[in-house]
């Protein structure tokens, strides 16, 4: 039997730096954990920020904890509708990407870069990576079988760390293309 991996849909969201959090929400502000996410230590927040592009604006959820740099992660459809160019990048790889304006309840900030469509990826523990026979940064294909929309995702990067829980992340465009429901599993193809 082939071992399968859970496939999770990562909707549009924002990661904030400490400095941008204070600008947007006020000095000393702390994020409010609304719900823990599948990756250890990560959580969806009660807070939302308005992202402004040349064609419009949209409120997006903040994910915690804070990071060293602010990053807006959205689907290519979201980017197009907002009028924001979004490079397909791994999370954290924001150098040379587009920036945008963010508006919070206490202020606004113009980020010089950080707008991305996250490259599809699999978070893996070292033990699971060994079991699946993959290494950190290896590019694989993942087959997802759904009712009427089965497909194979290429260019999936494996990210291996002790701090991860094993799960594949795709954005809402990719999830909709595959007809993903609430619980979907994929098979790694090398």
Listed residues 78, 99, 118: the one ending a domain: 118
Q: Verify that 148 and 60 share a domain, yes or no.
A: no
pLDDT, tens digit only, all 190 positions of the chain: 578 999 999 999 999 999 999 999 999 999 999 999 999 999 999 999 999 999 999 999 999 999 999 999 999 999 999 999 999 999 999 999 999 999 999 999 999 999 999 999 999 999 999 999 999 999 999 999 999 999 999 999 999 999 999 999 999 999 999 999 888 999 999 8
Q: Verify that 96 and 129 share a domain, yes or no.
A: no
Q: Verify that 178 and 110 share a domain, yes or no.
A: no
Q: What is the pLDDT of residue 182?
A: 82
Query: Is residue 24 in some structural domain?
Result: yes
Q: What is the pLDDT of residue 1?
A: 54
Q: Verify that 20 and 110 share a domain, yes or no.
A: yes
Listed residues 118, 153, 175: the one ending a domain: 118
Instruction: Tell me which residue of 105, 118, 120, 115 sits closest to 154, measured CA to CA.
Output: 120
Q: What is the pLDDT of residue 154?
A: 98
Q: Cβ distance 164 to 124 under 8 Å? A: yes
Q: Verify that 107 and 155 share a domain, yes or no.
A: no
Query: Is residue 3 in some structural domain?
Result: no
pTM (predicted TM-score) = 0.93
Query: Which two tokens mark 52?
Result: 């402004």
Q: Verify that 140 and 180 share a domain, yes or no.
A: yes
Q: Verify that 96 and 125 share a domain, yes or no.
A: no
Q: Verify that 106 and 142 share a domain, yes or no.
A: no
Residues 117, 76: Cα–Cα separation, whole Å: 6
Residues spanned by the domain of 15 = 11-118
Q: What is the separation, in whole angstroms, between the first and last Cα of the chain?
A: 16
Query: Which two tokens mark 162?
Result: 């002790």
DSSP helix/strand/coil, 129? helix
Q: Please, where are the H alpha helices in 6-158?
A: 18-25, 76-82, 126-132
Instruction: Tell me which residue of 125, 161, 170 sits closest to 143, measured CA to CA.
Output: 170
């Amino acid at each position: 039997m082939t071992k399968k991996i859970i496939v999770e849909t990562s909707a549009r969201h924002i990661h904030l730096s400490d400095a941008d959090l204070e600008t947007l929400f006020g000095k000393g502000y702390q994020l409010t954990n609304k719900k823990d996410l599948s990756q250890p230590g990560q959580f969806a927040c009660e807070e939302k920020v308005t992202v402004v592009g040349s064609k419009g604006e949209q409120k997006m959820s903040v994910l915690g904890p804070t990071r060293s740099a602010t990053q807006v992660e959205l689907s290519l459809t979201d980017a197009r509708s907002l009028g924001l160019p979004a490079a397909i990048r791994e999370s954290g790889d924001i150098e040379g990407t587009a920036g945008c304006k963010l508006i919070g309840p206490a202020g606004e900030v113009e980020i010089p870069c950080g707008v991305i469509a996250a490259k599809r990826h699999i978070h893996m523990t070292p033990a699971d990576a060994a079991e699946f026979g993959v290494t950190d940064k290896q590019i694989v294909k993942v087959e997802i079988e759904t009712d009427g929309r089965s497909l194979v995702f290429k260019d999936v990067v494996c990210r291996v760390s002790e701090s991860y829980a094993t799960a594949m992340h795709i954005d809402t465009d990719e999830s909709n293309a595959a007809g993903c429901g609430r619980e979907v599993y994929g098979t790694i193809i090398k």
